[in-house]
């Protein structure tokens, strides 16, 4: 089968080509799937997309007209896919339901430590041979309280790191994770978590019920000197409200690997173009804010597992099998 893979990063390309070798012919392109790029998929029964692909109803219609019947997304999240339209068009949609939770958890912890210890500012200074310590004072996280919002596989891995650093553990989720409870986590309501935590880390999926989970009221409930980390989905945070709180001088640090309007920006080189997103432009000017471009998952281990699962999804589709990875039609 001929497969077109959209949004393939340079580091990712050899992994994809090697994984599909001898099974299917895969063509990798750097461009991301959008309404404008969808026509290039004409003639490909199967395509593979990245996390920031636009799989709206219009795009799905274009793909279906071009002969595409199966879409294998190389990510866990699927908030970018109009599943109702896909089902109506008879498209098969699969995702990667699991990959290394340590990749994201370790990166989330890295963001927390980087903003707490002012690593970016310190590095910029030493490049200019400025070795002063003014403005670089951080805090021990040992003995302080972490609030983990979402305690699934990634949240559990993050909790284990925080536990290893001697933090008090608070959790919020629709169900308790016994492994986190065994580590000493106490589950509380969201308001208590936000009011008590010195570090808040988000690990829930983006759903209609979690959109702007951290909105204006939630941000105001947090400690003025708290650290906020989001390595899940940008839409969990009301970014304009966050900017408003930062302008008041609140929060010791904010580490964001995701941004709610990242599509069309992240994974692309925009260094020679004016940034039209005023909210993002303002956000990155705050000295206590660190923004990275959705790279938490980007390790050899995690990407290798994502690619392997994508190959399995395509093979299952060809063989007429279904697994937990299939969203439309659903497995079982």
78 pLDDT higher than 60? yes
Quickly count: other Cβ atoms within 10 Å of residue 169's Cβ.
21
* pLDDT 10s digits, 11-20: 999 999 999 9
- pLDDT tier for residue 331 given thresholds of 50, 70 and 90: low
List strand residue ranges (DSSP E) for 227-315, in order.
227-230, 253-256, 289-291
- pLDDT tier for residue 126 given thresholds of 50, 70 and 90: very high
Minimal CA–CA distance to 67: which of 152, 165, 121, 1? 1
**Which residues are catalytic, by number?**
233, 262, 294
316 pLDDT higher than 90? yes
Is 96:75 a contact under the CB 8 Å cutoff? yes
Which helix (DSSP H) or strand (DSSP E) does residue 294 occupy?
none
Look at phi and psi of residue 99 and say left if phi exceeds 0, alpha if psi is from -120 to 50, else beta: beta
332 pLDDT higher than 70? no
3-state secondary structure of 149: strand
- pLDDT tier for residue 7 given thresholds of 50, 70 and 90: very high
Packing angle between helix 300-319 and helix 101-116, nearest 10 degrees? Answer: 150
pLDDT for the residue 52: 85
Name, in order, each residue with C-beta under 8 angstroms of 294's C-beta and a sequence gap of 6 or more: 51, 52, 257, 258, 262, 266, 267
> The whole model's pTM is what?
0.92
pLDDT for the residue 264: 86
CA-to-CA dists, residue 177 to 45, 77, 93, 99, 233, angstroms: 40, 21, 29, 19, 21
């Amino acid at each position: 089968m001929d497969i077109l893979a959209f949004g393939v990063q340079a580091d990712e390309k050899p992994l994809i080509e090697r994984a599909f070798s001898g099974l299917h012919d895969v063509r990798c392109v750097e461009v991301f799937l959008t309404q404008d790029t969808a026509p290039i998929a004409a003639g490909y029964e199967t395509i593979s997309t990245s996390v920031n692909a636009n799989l709206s109803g219009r795009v799905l219609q274009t793909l279906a007209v071009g002969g595409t019947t199966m879409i294998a997304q190389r990510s866990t999240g699927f908030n970018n896919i109009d599943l109702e339209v896909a089902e109506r068009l008879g498209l098969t949609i699969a995702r990667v339901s699991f990959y290394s939770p340590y990749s994201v958890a370790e990166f989330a912890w890295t963001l927390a430590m980087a903003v707490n210890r002012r690593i970016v500012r310190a590095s910029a200074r030493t490049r200019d041979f400025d070795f002063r310590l003014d403005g670089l004072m951080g805090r021990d996280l040992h003995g302080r309280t972490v609030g983990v919002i979402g305690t699934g596989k990634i949240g559990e891995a993050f909790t284990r790191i925080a536990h290893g650093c001697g933090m008090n553990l608070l959790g919020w989720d629709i169900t308790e994770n016994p492994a986190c409870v065994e580590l000493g986590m106490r589950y509380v309501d969201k308001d208590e978590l936000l009011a008590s935590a010195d570090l808040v880390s988000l690990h829930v999926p983006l759903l209609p019920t979690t959109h702007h989970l951290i909105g204006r009221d939630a941000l105001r409930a947090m400690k003025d000197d708290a650290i906020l980390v989001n390595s899940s989905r940008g839409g969990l945070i009301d970014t304009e409200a966050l900017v408003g709180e930062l302008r008041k001088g609140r929060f010791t640090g904010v580490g964001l690997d995701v941004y709610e309007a990242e599509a069309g920006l992240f994974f692309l080189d925009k260094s020679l173009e004016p940034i039209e997103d005023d909210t993002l432009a303002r956000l990155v000017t705050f000295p206590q804010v660190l923004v990275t471009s959705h790279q938490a998952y980007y390790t050899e281990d995690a990407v290798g597992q994502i690619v392997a699962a994508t190959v399995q999804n395509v093979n299952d589709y060809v063989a007429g099998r279904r697994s937990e990875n299939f969203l439309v039609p659903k497995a079982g």
